[in-house]
Structure 1
Amino acid sequence: MKRNYYLSVSIFLLLIVGVALSGCSSKEAASATGDQVILVGTQNDYPPFAFADDNNELTGYDVEVVKAIDEQLDGYTFEFVAVPWDSMFLALESNKIQAIADQVAKTPERQEKYLFTDESYFASQTVIAVKTGREDIQTIEDLEGKKVGALAGDSYTLLLEEYNKKAAQPIDLKYSESGNPSEILQDVQNGRLDAYVNDPIMVNAVLEKNDLGVEIVGQPLVNDDMGIVMKKGEQGEKLKALIDPILKELKQDGTLAELSKKWTGGEYIPE
């Protein structure tokens, strides 16, 4: 337990240092252009939505959506900060970042604590992934008593945690220390985990990249809309009011559909 605590603290301290250094360069850029810099948190290991490319630059669908917003938003410059998922909301609450673009589902619990854009920029599904050839798992009920990989605080884990409150036999959630979906899927392949619940596009991207013997089974459990997240308060309200009209325009002019096809192979844009 202590090891996990010190690891989390170390990661967050590194995050603070990284953002502080980024803040220095941001201030210089803001001074030169007169723009206000908004730091946007996202992961660097969640393809095809947000990940580091071969040049260690953040890219992916979510990143390019924010860049498209940035192009149309005068007076502001968006800069990206790679943040581990388990530190993402802590970084937002402490103003180390001012927004999150990381496939965050609009759950009622999150909407009570944070501001979301009214306009959603992606429609996501929730599916079950198991080792190829396994036939005993098809539904969420089949996960009862099974070992299922989980990331603390993500919408897929929250779904399973909520299910456990009424399950005859709780799902045995195994929380990842690394926070890396690729490692969780590798554990599904080698049998250390029975299943993983997440988005099918991300799962398929990881499977293709790593050539894993894992497959998606059954029907989608849930459909979710994703939004950009901000901290509640005057700053967040102002940013939300600026972003929403641009997101609506990007949806109407087909920009979001084009980006979705580019990164996911299909148009997964909410109406």
Structure 2
Amino acid sequence: MDRRAYLKTGAGVVAGGLFAGCTGGNGGGQEATETATSEAAATDGEGTTEGTETGTESGSEGDVVPDNVVIGSDIPYRPFEYNTASGELTGFDVDIARAIFEEQLGTSYEFKPTSFDSIIPSLKNNNFRIIMSAMTINDQRAQEVDFSDPYFTAYQTVIVRQDSDIQSREDLRGATVGVQKGTTGADAAQQLQEEFDGELELNQYDQVNGAFQALVNGQVVAVINDNTVNAEFVNNQGEGQVRFLQGEGAAAESGENAPDYLTLTVENYGIAFRQDDDEFRQRVNEALAAIREDGTYDEIYAEYFEG
């Protein structure tokens, strides 16, 4: 199955649901944004002092929209945020950020690479203004941050090597699976571990690429992660190397137009804000609504998920 089929099946089914579906991540695209991202990469969210933000939010005190929006994000997370061979930050979220902040709100923005498992504490520590990083809206996180309107529906899915004996959900019992730390993929794996009475070993990695490499190297038999990111990896590996684990699951149970592969969860993504940032969150929600209405969102979506 080609890239288009995987991504359209996994993400495109929500085109008539939330906003046609897509997840948040990193991005910039402007020269100034890329420069700021490169500088921020050296600190990975840990080099700033408490109560400060990387980048200059130089609007006067009380301004709803700052002059420069610093965005915390876990990079790489292809196809949402990743660097090209030439070092350019690109991806779906790069373009969504440009549409929201530059085109709709008339302000600049930059992305600050940050480990996902520490990204909420970093936001609360004022290391950046918002999080755009394929972040699932859930009750646990909503106790610490406020979310924008949801702008993508995704599923937690399982990929295995093509030559694997794993053919069903039950076949994972007793296996070792790879996940990224601090993600809902890790949560889904832990739930599966409980379902199997502990008969599932989890190898957790700082970035999803570590889990993918472990799968290729035979260190884990499966990776549990977002469907669109898994799909990108499956297709980049070439035909016949890696596959989705098939079967019905959460999407079918919830009445979604389910893909033909196993879905462990159905999730909505949002942009995360500190809990005292209501006016700015409202402006971002308005901008999200505007890019949906004028067709910009659909154009960006088509570039990454239908082509």
TM-score, normalised relative to structure 1 = 0.79
Partner in structure 1 of residue 71 of structure 2: 40
Shift of 1:35: 4.8
Shift of 1:173: 0.8
Partner in structure 2 of residue 245 of structure 1: 286
Shift of 1:223: 2.0
Partner in structure 2 of residue 183 of structure 1: 210
Partner in structure 2 of residue 6 of structure 1: none
Shift of 1:107: 1.7
What letter corresponds to residue 233 of structure 2 in structure 1?
Answer: V
C-alpha deviations, 1:111-134, integer Å up to 9, x for none? 2221111x2222212210001132
Partner in structure 1 of residue 269 of structure 2: 226
Partner in structure 1 of residue 295 of structure 2: 254
Partner in structure 2 of residue 153 of structure 1: 182
Partner in structure 2 of residue 73 of structure 1: 105
- Any gaps of 5 or more consecutive residues in structure 1? 1-10, 267-271
What letter corresponds to residue 166 of structure 2 in structure 1?
Answer: D
* SS of equivalent to 1:160: helix
Shift of 1:194: 1.2
Shift of 1:208: 3.6
What letter corresponds to residue 224 of structure 1 in structure 2?
Answer: E
Q: Distance in 2 between matches of 1:25 and 1:35?
A: 11
What letter corresponds to residue 266 of structure 2 in structure 1?
Answer: N
Shift of 1:58: 2.1
- Asked whether 1:194 is paired with 2:221, we answer yes
| Contact 1:39/1:99 (<8 A) preserved | yes
Q: What are the equivalent positions in structure 2 for 1:113-132 lying under 5 Å apart? A: 113-117=144-148, 119-132=149-162
Could you say which structure has the higher helix fraction?
Answer: 1
Q: Distance in 2 between matches of 1:43 and 1:59?
A: 13
Q: Distance in 2 between matches of 1:175 and 1:25?
A: 31
Greater shift after overlay, 248-257 or 104-113? 248-257
What letter corresponds to residue 141 of structure 2 in structure 1?
Answer: R
Q: Distance in 1 between matches of 2:132 and 2:230?
A: 19
What letter corresponds to residue 221 of structure 1 in structure 2?
Answer: L
What letter corresponds to residue 291 of structure 2 in structure 1?
Answer: L
* SS of equivalent to 1:168: coil
| Contact 1:188/1:214 (<8 A) preserved | no
Shift of 1:83: 1.6
CA RMSD of aligned residues (A): 2.8
C-alpha deviations, 1:70-126, integer Å up to 9, x for none? 12114x432211222233222112110111111111122112221111x22222122
| Contact 1:63/1:101 (<8 A) preserved | no
- Asked whether 1:162 is paired with 2:191, we answer yes
Taking only the aligned residue pairs, the percentage that are identical comes to 21
Residues 14 and 41 of structure 1: CA distance in aligned 2, closer, same or farther (over 3 Å):
closer
C-alpha deviations, 1:148-206, integer Å up to 9, x for none? 11222101111222343443334211111xx2322312211222101101123212323
| Contact 1:121/1:256 (<8 A) preserved | no
C-alpha deviations, 1:214-268, integer Å up to 9, x for none? 21111222221111011212xx2222111111112222332222211111227xx
Q: Distance in 2 between matches of 1:216 and 1:166?
A: 21
Aligned length: 245
Q: Distance in 1 between matches of 2:66 and 2:141?
A: 30
Q: Distance in 2 between matches of 1:94 and 1:65?
A: 25
Runs of 4+ displaced beyond 6 Å: none
What letter corresponds to residue 120 of structure 1 in structure 2?
Answer: P
| Contact 1:130/1:189 (<8 A) preserved | no
Shift of 1:46: 0.8
Could you say which structure has the higher strand fraction?
Answer: 1
* SS of equivalent to 1:203: helix
* SS of equivalent to 1:260: helix
TM-score, normalised relative to structure 2 = 0.71
Q: Distance in 2 between matches of 1:144 and 1:231?
A: 39
Q: Distance in 2 between matches of 1:90 and 1:57?
A: 27
Residues 102 and 25 of structure 1: CA distance in aligned 2, closer, same or farther (over 3 Å):
closer
